[in-house]
Amino acid sequence: MRILFVDDDPDARVLAIRAVAQEFPNAGFREASDLVSLDQTLLEQAPDILVTDFDLRWTDGIAIFDRVKATNPFCCCVMFTGTGNEELAVRAIKHGFDDYVVKGAKQLRRLATAVRTAYDRGRELRELGENRDLVLKELYHRLHNNLQIVISLLRMTEKAIATQGDREQLADLGRRIQALSALQEEFYRSEDFRKVDFAAFLQRLAGSLTELKVGYVRLTSRLEAMVLPVDLAVPFGLIANEIFTNSLKHALPEGRSGGLSVALERLGDRAVLTVADDGDGVRGVDLFAATSGLGMRLIGRLTEQVGGEISFERGDTGAICRINVPL
């Protein structure tokens, strides 16, 4: 453990170190009295604990806090100063300091206790965060496995159904659950469970759907790197699944070969997904009405849920669908 003391007064640093050493006898203590010594210390190794004065000839304690936190965001920080008041104490705590101690010989024991309490509290919070991440990762993994079991059961049931229309509806349901499973896999692979690599998800989803298609499908993708929050990624991912499925089903029916183009880009504060095919497409001006089945109703509701916009048009050789959602 490394503890950094920043103060212009060498006597104040000695007294503070002596007091804190009673709580951390095995720690490594470093001192900084100017910008050069501070930068040299931070360059060698970021501290785990910072004790700093506020009123320094060359800067102030708030700036020291920012500089140290940039090297170690988990460093616990205590302000130990004699040139402050209640207003400064409130400002320091709001800025992120763990505690504020008024400088003085009788306050040295209070300083040591404040540093120990701040460090222990920070360590407990980090451990809780790490445990939470492990639990979430395991939950995502198990949910992904359970979804795979559901998909397998649906496929077994699909084979046992005699009616073609019923089999197709069950297969569509299986593909929707598969899309959710693919999103779950991106979740537990991510370092931050609140976000997902949406471009990677689209690439995997489009690839898996085209592989299931009877007949060769040439997949072209142009996906801008984009990380989305879970609340947006889930409905947007389900929309993408319905659009891909709709294009493959209506543009390339009965094993017909063709091409599917997928593009994802950021335009201002919106994400735009464009899906185009060069197959039979859906003829007529009102493409939305021509494909107003369950999948299209689901697209409409999910698009409304995320505040997005969707459009359909005839391309030179097929149909084009564009959907944009606010980021």
The single residue listed with the structure tokens 């598969």 is 178
Is 2-127's fold the same as 194-327's?
no
pLDDT of the residue at 225: 92
Percent of the chain exceeding pLDDT 70 equals 82
Average pLDDT over the chain, rounded to an integer:
83
pLDDT band for position 285 (50/70/90)?
Answer: very low
Strand order in the sheet with 99-102: 28-32, 2-6, 49-52, 76-81, 99-102
Query: What is the pLDDT, as a whole number, of residue 77?
Result: 96
Dihedral of CA atoms 285, 290, 295, 297 in degrees, nearest 10, equals 80
* Residue partners of 173: CB distance under 8 A and separation at least 6: 154
Beta bridge partners of 101: 80
CB atoms within 10 A of CB 211: 9
The whole-number pLDDT of residue 283 equals: 44
Type of residue found at 184: Q
Q: What is the mean pLDDT of residues 217-229?
A: 89
**Can you give the pLDDT at residue 282?**
47
* pLDDT confidence tier of residue 18, bands split at 50, 70 and 90: very high
Higher pLDDT, 218 or 68: 68
Q: Is 221 exposed, middle or buried (0-12, 13-18, 19+ CB in 10 A)?
A: middle
CATH class assigned to 194-327? alpha beta
CATH superfamily, region 2-127: Response regulator (3.40.50.2300)
% of the chain beyond a pLDDT of 90 = 41
Enter the DSSP assignment of 319. Answer: E
DSSP E strand stretches across the chain: 2-6, 28-32, 49-52, 76-81, 99-102, 195-197, 217-223, 227-229, 258-267, 270-277, 309-314, 319-326
What pTM did the predictor assign?
0.52
What's the pLDDT score for residue 321? 87
Reported as a pLDDT band with limits 50, 70 and 90, residue 48 is very high
Asked whether the predicted pLDDT for residue 277 surpasses 60, the reply is: yes
pLDDT reported for residue 252: 65
pLDDT tens, position by position, 91-143: 999 999 999 999 988 899 999 999 999 999 988 888 776 666 666 666 666 66
For the cut 50, the answer to whether the pLDDT of residue 214 exceeds it is yes
**Residue boundaries of the structural domains of the chain:** 2-127, 194-327
* Averaged pLDDT, 12-31: 95
Residue 173: pLDDT band with limits 50, 70, 90: confident
Could you tell me if residue 75 is left (phi over 0), alpha (psi between -120 and 50 degrees) or otherwise beta? beta
Check pLDDT > 70 for residue 251.
Answer: no
Any residues with CB less than 8 A from the CB of 41 and at least 6 apart, and which? Answer: 4, 30, 32, 47
- 56-81 confidence digits (pLDDT tens): 999 999 999 999 999 999 999 999 99
Tell me the pLDDT tens digit for each residue of 296-318.
788 888 888 889 998 888 777 77
Q: Average the pLDDT over each of 43-52, 82-91, 99-108 and give the range with the smallest value.
A: 82-91
Task: Tell whether the model's pLDDT for residue 290 goes beyond 70.
Answer: no
Please report the pLDDT score of residue 190 as a whole number. 64
Q: Which of these ranges, 65-79, 146-160, 237-251, has the smallest mean pLDDT?
A: 146-160
What pLDDT is attached to residue 93? 92
